[in-house]
Amino acid sequence: MKNTSEPIVQIRGLTKSFGNHVVLDGIDFDIEPKQVVVVIGPSGSGKSTFLRCCNGLEQPDGGTIDICGHRLCDHGTLLDDRALNTLRAEVGMVFQSFNLFPHLSVLHNITVGPRMLRGMSKEEAEAAALSLLQKVGLAHKAHVMPASLSGGQKQRVAIARALAMQPRVMLFDEPTSALDPELVGEVLQVMKVLAEEGMTMVVVTHEMGFAKEVADVVVVMDGGKIVEAGPPSEIFSAPSQPRTRSFLQAVL
Ligand code: ADP
Ligand code: MG
């Protein structure tokens, strides 16, 4: 563990059902500053729903979520929209399917959030966006449209766009699952650099190499519960839970 002070994210008793299907069944978890948490688990175990609850995209049924000391969700009730938007700016999210705005240039995709939600001037937002594009190796693509980019490039733009809001924590939901295999590495490399720079990150991924190399903590979800959590050395070499063992056998 790199650092332990006030948790950036504190979750207690988080529950969520769709109809009578319990998808999150009492999640307790803390994410410490600069921690890289990798979440693994079988399809349908609630990983995406967990991330979506952490930035208010999904309304939990019960439990509390505190982000940077602010209560995002109090016993299942979300903040009002205004407070929610402010808080969401602290939580960057990167999706499997990139979700870039197709009608906006790469640069404009990155500047729209800071200009509308952070009140940045056009010049300031563009300067920041260009430096982020440089960071993800795409400064030369600032003025093209997303459709002309490869999947790996789109995802790197999506990461730059999330970073432009200066979030305190970044959530990644299977960021490389939609990519051709030869494009996975360039996205993981950008994420690895972010982790090395001290970004607090929660990453849902099936990339076990990334988990082993970069994660401080690996969280195993199954059936809406955290069945096991620990450093990668422990989870991969000596998992204590049968459900972790069977999941790892299937993916490794
Ligand atoms: P994972 O990301 O681990 O694959 P999800 O969080 O996406 O799991 O989904 C967990 C379960 O919740 C799945 O059975 C899924 O079908 C269900 N689910 C997710 N979102 C919805 C929704 N909006 N409406 C109904 N069921 C949903
Ligand atoms: Mg998912």
pLDDT at 39: 98
- Residue with CA at minimum distance from ligand 1 atom 11: 44
Q: Which secondary structure element, helix H or strand E, spans residue 124, and what is its range?
A: helix 122-135
Residue 170 has pLDDT above 90, yes or no: yes
Q: Indicate the pairing of strand 9-18 with strand 70-74.
A: unpaired
The string of pLDDT tens digits covering residues 204-220 is 999 999 999 999 999 99
Distance from residue 67's CA to the centre of ligand 1 (Å):
23
Spatial CB neighbours of 70, under 8 Å, sequence gap ≥ 6: 83, 87, 90
If pLDDT is split at 50, 70 and 90, which confidence band does 3 have? very low
Q: Indicate the pairing of strand 70-74 with strand 217-222.
A: unpaired
Residue 65: what residue type?
I
* Angle at alpha carbon of residue 181, lines to 234 and 91, rounded to 5°: 60
If pLDDT is split at 50, 70 and 90, which confidence band does 1 have? very low
SS (H, E, C) 32-43: CCCCEEEEECCC
Round the average pLDDT of the chain to a whole number and report it: 94
For ligand 2, a single-atom ion, the residues with CB < 5 A are: 47-48
Which residue of 17, 49, 54, 204 sits with most ligand 1 atoms within 8 Å of its CB, as the best mutation to test the pocket? 49
Ligand 1 cavity residues, CB under 6 Å = 18, 23, 41, 43-49
* Angle at alpha carbon of residue 61, lines to 58 and 63, rounded to 5°: 100
Ligand number nearest CA of 39 is: 1
Strand locations in the chain (E)? 9-18, 21-31, 36-40, 62-67, 70-74, 77-78, 91-94, 169-173, 200-204, 217-222, 225-230
Instruction: Report the Cα 196 to chain-centroid distance in Å.
Output: 16
If pLDDT is split at 50, 70 and 90, which confidence band does 179 have? very high
- Residue with CA at minimum distance from ligand 1 atom 15: 44
The string of pLDDT tens digits covering residues 11-24 is 999 999 999 999 99
Asked if ipTM goes beyond 0.95, one says yes
- Residue with CA at minimum distance from ligand 1 atom 25: 18
Spatial CB neighbours of 90, under 8 Å, sequence gap ≥ 6: 67, 68, 70, 167, 168, 169
The string of pLDDT tens digits covering residues 91-114 is 999 999 999 999 999 999 999 999
pTM across the whole model: 0.95
Q: Which atom of ligand 1 is nearest to the CA of 46?
A: 6
Residue 4 has pLDDT above 80, yes or no: no
Ligand number nearest CA of 42 is: 1
Spatial CB neighbours of 49, under 8 Å, sequence gap ≥ 6: 16, 23, 24, 58
Ligand number nearest CA of 45 is: 1
The token pair that represents 186 in the structure block: 């360039």
Q: Yes or no: say if 144 and 93 are a contact pair by the CB < 8 Å rule.
A: no
- Residue with CA at minimum distance from ligand 1 atom 24: 18
Residue 7 has pLDDT above 50, yes or no: yes
Please state the φ and ψ torsions of residue 57, each to the nearest 5 degrees: -75, -25
Residue 2 has pLDDT above 50, yes or no: no
pLDDT at 104: 98
